[in-house]
Amino acid sequence: MNEPQNSRVTLYLSRFRSALPTIVLYSVQSLLIFALFGMDFIMVAACSTVIFQVRNSRVNTLSDCAVLSFGFLLMCCLAYLASHSLVMCIVLNLIVPFTLVIGMSSQFSPKGHFGFAMAFVFLELIPLPSDMFHAQLLASALCAVTMSAALIIRSRTTQLGARKQLFGSLVRLSNAFDYLADAPADADISTLRQELYEAGQNFHRMGHSRALFIYSEDRQKRVYHLIALLFQRSSYLLADDSWDEICSIPQFKTVMRTLSLIALRLRAAAETGDVDRLRTDSQKLLSECDLPNSRLRIFYRSFLHMVVLLCRGHNEIPKPRAARSRLSDIPKSFLRRCRPERYEFRFAVRLSAVLTFSCTVSYLWNFEHTYWFPLHAFLLLQPSYEESAHRMITRPVGTAVGCVLVHIFYPFIDTTPEMFVFTLVMSAFMYVSTPGTWPQAMFATTFALTLASMMIGKGEAIQLRLFYLAMAVALVLVANAVIFPNQRDKQFIRNMHELFRLQSVYWGVIRRSLHEPVDAGLFSELLSEFHMVYHEAVLYIRDVPEGASTRAILLTLWKMFSEIEQTECLIQMNAVPPEKYGDLDTVAASLQELIYPPRPSLNVIDTSSFGQGDISYVLEHYLANARKLTGEAVHA
């Protein structure tokens, strides 16, 4: 019995340590606002703390903090406008949540919008007289400054952790190559392949988390994606059907030893910044490559090419694009996400509809604490149907228990300072609790009811809390059922279609790269999105008993996308003769058209004109996988 108890205590202490920066920030902000502005503005501290909570595990620069602070103050202003006009309430609740979800969330970071959306919704629901708005804005500015300072301080620790993870991963990659060099041909490499795959996914997530709004130019994000590619391609090599043939190539051990050394030198260069010699040596190895035409040759050359790109990007000062060009990316990216099959679009529409309805009811219904109706609806409505259904259970349970706690403790709380201290304690437990669980809902309820009881009676506050929760549950149930429902099984089907669509998009970008320079960041974004969508699909089929056949389809799709990556890599390495650009453009155009939606008519594509070079090898493997898959894909 002691062992499970000890593990629970250890888990709780771990959560407390993780939540401690958030608890400290909220306590400091609350004390400052209570002392300078009064209890009426405590909610401002709660909103800025949530933004900190979303961002504090990431590396945040001064410019990131400036964007976050500006966004927070903008949400305060928009919330004020929405609270003083029915027309503005409807218009802004339709536009603001939708824009935040489309711009800041995805199925890989479904809560990216949450901090800003909470600031808009919560502050909107507590309307202030015009003469008090300037005080709220000052309180918000104070919270923005303290939040930014806390994020910068946290970034020092986070950055050290990210560097340690990067260095350790490169050492692990080097050890993997050494192991492969010495391992017998029949060694079980499935565990190693999975480890390399998960490392690649982790770096893709790290790169994806760098974005604040849709597409942003970021050198560090590109580094993470390139490092992820080193692991993805290594994992792909181990998953190849011709692994036995690869191991039998005489130069195999030499290649593995060479790449092991290159990985260690990349780790040292990342630490010291001395990348010029590594770049020169990698380019020399590329020019001296005498491997036979094979999967090993393609992997070896593409790995070295990634290292060259990493070294080039380290000391290279990126040329800033024209402001008009950068700004034009935003509406393009925004419109690409505004499609019914997109995860974020479906949730954005649902969230806007729920908030518009509930906030309008709250605005028109002149009754005590009607803002609890949209507040509950906002917290109950989650991006995935399953998580939202889970909260339909946990939130009522937590709310009921929280009402009981308030009933028990309220007689012992007589003064405003005592209530303030009690709310601080409850908020600390709330931040330690796992989001979406009944304990978190319980502590949130005690926090909210304690504040509400300062204005209305305790009994009335409890009754209203439960009544508005019931209204919110009913509204969210209807919304989840009729407004772009997003069950996991349906999202999986959309993800499968997205994996084909992204291949078509990539072939289009390859065609562009044959005629003009293409921003490397675009390739990074495409690679990241594909691998993240692929990972979401893999996670789903792990829970499905009949997922074996689908797993084979997914693995083939992954191999096909790796072939597209390597096609672009060969173009960038000048391994495709310029006189073959026209033939490659023709093949890419056909694949762009035929792969999405997938059609079993790929036999018309001819690659004989490319001879026996690397590009021919890659295209033939891609077509072989595509021909094997399209018959299954049409019926999937």
Cis amide linkage into residue 97, ω under 30° from 0: no
| pLDDT tens by residue, 472-526 | 999 999 999 899 888 888 888 888 898 999 999 999 999 998 888 877 667 777 8
Q: Is the pLDDT of residue 418 over 80?
A: no
- Percent of the chain at pLDDT exceeding 70: 89
Q: Is the pLDDT of residue 322 over 50?
A: no
Distance of CA 218 to the CA centre of its chain: 15
- Mean of the per-residue pLDDT values for the chain? 83
Lowest-confidence range among 115-119, 319-323, 326-330, 339-343?
319-323
Asked if residues 360 and 94 have their Cβ atoms less than 8 Å apart, the reply is no
Query: 324 falls in which pLDDT band (50, 70, 90)?
Result: very low
Q: Hey, which bits of 390-497 come out as E strands?
A: none
The answer for residues whose C-beta is within 8 angstroms of residue 150's C-beta and 6 or more apart is: 21, 25, 52, 56
Q: Span 320-347, mean pLDDT?
A: 70
| Residue 85 neighbours by CB distance under 10 Å | 12
Q: Span 333-341, mean pLDDT?
A: 81
Q: Is the pLDDT of residue 71 over 50?
A: yes
54 vs 293, more confident: 54
What confidence score (pLDDT) does residue 146 get?
A: 96
- Residue 474, judged by CB atoms within 10 A of its CB (0-12, 13-18, 19+), counts as exposed
- Percent of the chain at pLDDT exceeding 90: 23
Q: How far is CA 213 from CA 102, 208, 217, 525, in A?
A: 9, 11, 11, 13
Rounded-to-integer distance, Cα 552 and Cα 536, Å: 15
Query: 545 falls in which pLDDT band (50, 70, 90)?
Result: low
Phi, psi of 455, rounded to the nearest 5 degrees: -115, -30
What confidence score (pLDDT) does residue 563 get?
A: 87
Query: 457 falls in which pLDDT band (50, 70, 90)?
Result: very low
Q: Is the pLDDT of residue 3 over 70?
A: no
Q: Span 118-123, mean pLDDT?
A: 90
Rounded-to-integer distance, Cα 592 and Cα 501, Å: 9
Q: Span 398-421, mean pLDDT?
A: 77
Q: Is the pLDDT of residue 129 over 70?
A: yes
Q: What is the 3-state secondary structure (H, E, C) of 546-608?
A: CCHHHHHHHHHHHHHHHHHHHHHHHHHCCCCCHHHHHHHHHHHHHHHHHCCCCCCCHHHCCCH
Query: 633 falls in which pLDDT band (50, 70, 90)?
Result: very low
What confidence score (pLDDT) does residue 320 get?
A: 46
| pLDDT tens by residue, 179-198 | 999 888 778 888 998 899 88
What confidence score (pLDDT) does residue 212 get?
A: 66
605 vs 369, more confident: 605
Rounded-to-integer distance, Cα 43 and Cα 421, Å: 15
What confidence score (pLDDT) does residue 420 get?
A: 74
Q: How far is CA 305 from CA 58, 292, 311, 572, in A?
A: 28, 18, 10, 9
Lowest-confidence range among 81-95, 113-127, 266-280, 451-465?
451-465
64 vs 325, more confident: 64
